[in-house]
Amino acid sequence: SGLEQIQALNLTEDDLPSCPKSSPFLSGPLKVSFPLHLTMDEIAQKNPWVQMGGHYQPPNCWALHHTAVIIPYRARRKHLYQLLYHLHPFLQRQQIHYTIYVVHQIDNNTFNRGKLLNVGFKEAMKENNWQCIYFHDVDLIPEDDRNVYGCSVLPMHSAVAIDKFQYKLPYQTYFGGVTALRPTHYLKINGFPNNYWGWGGEDDDIASRIFLNKMFITRPPAAFGRYRMLKHGHDKGNEVNPKRFHLLSSTHIRWRRNGINTLNYKLLSKEQTQLYTNFTILVWRRR
Ligand code: UDH
């Protein structure tokens, strides 16, 4: 294949023309459906250009975007398969260079989305000098491929219009679901907070961190930033966090000493599967 040829030749930025600003393969609005009984093999067969570990690079041009997609995960296998099934073709049509990383919290502690995203950032940056980090919930399926997964100079909130919220922003400063930052900006705000256990608040905390650092967020046009949310009930171990409002009231005091600079976890394993790189981790929780 073209990709193998390029790898064999070890081509670099100097050997390939840049990809065009707008990919000729975009289709715009997508008809999103959810096939039953998906398997990894089936999805892999549909994406022969994706390499082990969930890695892809356009074969004929040098990508304009180098993006790590990080998915916080526990016990949502069906959602993960649906997301991989939709996201791989979506990203390939955008002609970007990317890898999909899944950060799996395997312990029985309360779920901690912020911490998992910090782990994803740290581990992904060890693998490659990514220029853009996408933080992507497992249950959000994009509906328009003009929503390009690359970073601009501003932190990006991509999940602008979700069906569950009648395709409207639930509130103006909402920064949840699918967001992206350049590593320099992520480090400047000290990443996500590590101490939001259970559902809610960590997305508002990172929004505060951005504003406290005098940055602004940007969004794609609502027609592009459309998503369908996969249905799910209440997850065991991700109960609504009653402390979230209290924590949010002191973000301005805590953000410098709670984040990527105070992250602790244990990486149990790293596996390359056909469609993603998996980090299995234990989070620590002080009692
Ligand atoms: N997640 C898991 N497993 C869990 C919990 C969360 O993988 O057990 C991940 C997953 O990527 C998910 C994300 O964390 O998409 C966010 O969690 P969520 O889907 O529960 O949050 P969201 O705000 O849910 O998207 C909206 C409806 C949930 C109602 C429960 C609280 N009112």
- pLDDT (tens digit per residue) in 128-144: 999 999 999 999 999 99
CB of 137 sitting under 6 A from ligand 1: yes
Q: What is the pTM of this model?
A: 0.95
pLDDT for 261 beyond 60: yes
pLDDT value, residue 7: 60
**Residues 49-69: what's their mean pLDDT?**
97
Identify the pLDDT of residue 284.
82
- Give 202 Cα–ligand 1 centroid separation in angstroms: 12
This complex has an ipTM of 0.93
CB of 32 within 6 A of ligand 1: the answer is no
97 lines ligand 1 (CB under 6 A): no
Instruction: Determine whether the shortest distance from the Cβ of 211 to ligand 1 is under 6 A.
Output: no
Q: What is the pLDDT, as a whole number, of residue 162?
A: 98
Buried b (16+ CB within 10 A) or exposed e, 9-45: eeeeeeebeebeeebeebeeebebeeeeebeeeebbe
CB 145 within 8 A of CB 90: yes
Cα-to-centroid distance, 109 and ligand 1 (Å): 15
How would residue 15 be classed by pLDDT, with cut points 50, 70 and 90?
A: confident
Checking if the pLDDT of 81 tops 90, the result is yes
What value does the mean pLDDT of the chain take? 95
pLDDT surpassing 60 at residue 269: yes
Residue 244 pLDDT greater than 70, yes or no = yes
64 CA to centre of ligand 1 in angstroms: 31
Residue 287 has pLDDT above 70, yes or no: no
**How remote is the CA of residue 60 from the centroid of ligand 1, in Å?**
38
Nearest CA to ligand 1 atom 12: 137
> Which stretches within the chain are classed as H helix?
2-9, 40-46, 77-93, 113-127, 183-188, 202-212, 244-248, 251-254
Measured from the CB, is residue 103 less than 6 Å from ligand 1? no
Q: What are phi and psi of 245, to 5 degrees?
A: -70, -40
- Are 162 and 178 spatial neighbours (Cβ–Cβ below 8 Å)? no
Of 15-19, 161-165, 223-227, the poorest mean pLDDT is in 15-19
